[in-house]
Chain A
Amino acid sequence: MPNLYRHILAWLDERFGTGSVEEFLRHKTVPQHRHSIWYFFGGMTLFLFVVQVLTGILLLLYYRPTPNDAYESVQYIVTQVRFGWLIRSVHSWSANLMVFTAFVHMFSVYFLKAYRKPRELTWITGMLLLFITMGFGFSGYLLPWNTLAFFATKVGTEMAGAVPFVGKWMLTFLRGGEEVTGATLTRFFGFHIAVLPGLATTLLAIHLLLVQHLGMSVPPGVERAIAEGREQARSMPFFPNFLLRDIIGWYAALGVLGALAAIFPWELGAKADPFTSAPAGIRPEWYFLFMFQALKLLPPKILFLEGEFAGLLGFSLAAAVWVVVPFLDHRAGFGRVTRFFTGLGVFVLGFMGVMSLLALR
């Protein structure tokens, strides 16, 4: 058997030059220290992305993106198609877990200063991937065409419409007209299965390439401890030691996904009826709650700006600052921790947590 394995590798190497990959894997190492656990969240997010792609493809076999058929096709999937309930529930739960692990990954990178030189582009591509993930969530939420999804999309796209000058255009672009209709559904379906996956795959390739090329970042505190001789520099081979640990995490995630799908199947709700009024207490998905609540708490007028617009402007600026943080926190590039940026991270995390909890009250 080992002979066969070597033969296959040799055969591939002769044709693709895979020997260099094998060589790379053999020498690639991952730093080992007290914060190593956070390294696993990137791989976990990647695993959930793969789950999304696979379950998404299976759902595509039956899903029909029209207002007359969308709800019925999802209903058919969860009631008639063999294991359709499992695929649909895993797709929905995995989407939420993926957003969660992506946020954990992003904040762990932020607090461990892993964005610092020379990993600025890794951070920027990661942030763009996070935005795309949220876009996946927003566009996918509408696809079952149920009441909650319909009105949440209406509210969500209305927010875009509040932006002066381009708001009207954005609203029409997102909805495919003045109102949330079948045109919106087709559009969101297109974003969800073609535009966003294309962008995500490209960015993911760059992100992974950068991670492989630059290696894992060691937190400044650990770096300093090693330099001062208080700690010994340790590492483990990526293949197979780190990868096996990753696989353990993926198996655990698979178990959690299966349990959630079997015990709490993702509910379908009632079919959307554009002519009824919005149900009480309509809320977006949990990862948009902090924005939703903050916009709700804002006064109608802030200085000379509409409250909602000022809020959206604030969020856009904050997101822009967050994306370029590696260039602002240049001290981190020299292994120095700036309290301001750590405090900013704590504030952002606290703000998102408190606002989300307020929205859930």
Chain B
Amino acid sequence: MYRLAIFASIVLAGPTLVVAQSPSDSCTKCHLALESEKAGPAQKFATDVHHDVGLSCADCHGGDPHEESMEAMSPAKGFRGAPKKPQIPQFCARCHSDTTFMHRFDPRVRVDQLSQYLTSVHGKRLKQGDTKVAACVDCHGVHDILRVSDTRSPVYPMNVATTCAHCHADAEHMKGYGIPTDQVENYEKSVHAQMLAQGDTSAPTCTTCHGNHGATPPGVRSVVNVCGTCHVFFEQLFNNSPHRPVFAAMGLPGCVQCHSNHAVVKPSDDWVGTGPNSVCMGCHAEGDKGFEASRKIAGDLAKLQTELARAGETLSTAEHSGMEVSTPKVGLTNANEALVKARVNVHTFNEADVRKFTDQGVEISQKAYQAGVAALHERDARRKGLGVSLIFIVLTISGLYLKIRLMESRPSPSSGPQASGE
């Protein structure tokens, strides 16, 4: 009985649901019949996320979709038409800033986009009448808006840089703003872009550092905080380092001073030290404390690298000789970890903090190397043992052979020719 009631309610409710979701309202019907650009929105809307959740043209543009005549677009019927560029943020915010309305679709959805946008450079300039800046539809699209999680969406993490580049890499468009247009080009060289290209959608893109709706360039003071949102430990080390107050006093922007901002490439050990690639030498010179510290840190890192390479090579040779060296190889993994920790501690700019880890790594590497050497000695001992055993085996075989020869050269009553078995 209970099942029958459910079935009956589905059958009865069916037509109502179909009407509510039907795209054949008068807006769609008329606009699809129109030619050129007026038909476009109606054509594109079928793929739009708003269409997917059951909204219609009238939910944004107003009017009466049940009215078949042009009266449907009468202001008297609440028709609002298409918003002008400066009106777009508020146009979208009618729903997107309405918590009650938005929670019907997703209880966790954000509703602060407009307030964020108004704090952004885009929002501020739009308010001042600059219609070249980005508003909602410039990034999200219009009439064919996709969910952010949709890989085809222009604001899907892997597409964000391209979307920003539409304006920010366009020298003509950006003329007059006084900012460079090579950010995306530089970003594409970065380790962040490489990780993103490998499918790691948690890797940073433009909006990760600049914010999305409240997009603004991080200032000199806040740049460490921006990097520190992901690189927490590095931020802590830097903040406790002697560089922090000096950088602040000199107005230097923290992390990006050495790592750059958009072109954040994978760092290498020769960034420290006194060589031509050293970033330390940008400020320090021979004779000062920083020069000496940089030289020592580079020396310690190089020593660990050398020990690691030597141990790795020896263990590899032993392994290729068939020796079981998995335990010292695990040790070598620990030495590699020590190298990583030492590199992280470079951000303390204190040679003692770095040495603590390089010494650990060197000790482990040397043990691994000794294990490798012992394995190679063992291999040689085995081969010598084999040689001796083979001599005995060959001697025994020769003895047996001679014995057979001797035995069979003597006539014996049992060794003479005789009839075979079957």
Contacts and interface: CB of A to CB of B under 8 A. Distances in A.
Given A241-B408, A267-B322, A268-B324, A235 B420 contact: yes
A90 to B, nearest CB: 12
A78 B407 contact: no
Interface residues of B, number: 30
B397 A235 contact: no
Interface string A217-238: 1100011001000001111110
B417 A259 contact: no
Contacts of B400: 244, 247-248, 251
A160 B354 CA distance: 57
A217 B422 contact: yes
B401 interface: yes
Nearest to A270: B326
Contacts of B407: 240-241, 244
A332 to B, nearest CB: 11
B404 A233 contact: no
B265 interface: no
Contact of A264 (B322, B390, B421): B322
Interface string B401-422: 1011001100010110111111
Contacts of B323: 265
A29 B397 contact: no
Interface string A248-282: 10011011001100111111101000000000000
A222 B420 CA distance: 10
B401 A235 contact: no
Contacts of B404: 241, 244-245, 248
Given A26-B414, A248-B400, A251-B400, A75 B324 contact: yes
B420 A258 contact: no
B389 A235 contact: no
Contact of A217 (B324, B401, B414, B421): B421
A247 B415 CA distance: 19
A235 B415 CA distance: 7
B365 to A, nearest CB: 20
Interface stretch (B217-225, B240-248, B276-284, B378-386): B378-386
B393 interface: yes
Nearest to A26: B414
Interface in B117-145: none
A31 interface: yes
Contacts of A226: 420
Closest 6 interchain pairs by CB?
A215-B421, A265-B322, A31-B420, A262-B386, A255-B393, A262-B382
19 contacts: A26-B414, A29-B418, A31-B420, A33-B420, A75-B324, A79-B324, A214-B421, A214-B422, A222-B420, A233-B417, A235-B418, A235-B420, A244-B400, A244-B403, A251-B400, A255-B394, A258-B390, A262-B386, A264-B322
Given A215-B422, A244-B400, A248-B400, 7 more contacts: A27-B414, A31-B420, A78-B324, A217-B422, A235-B420, A255-B390, A262-B385
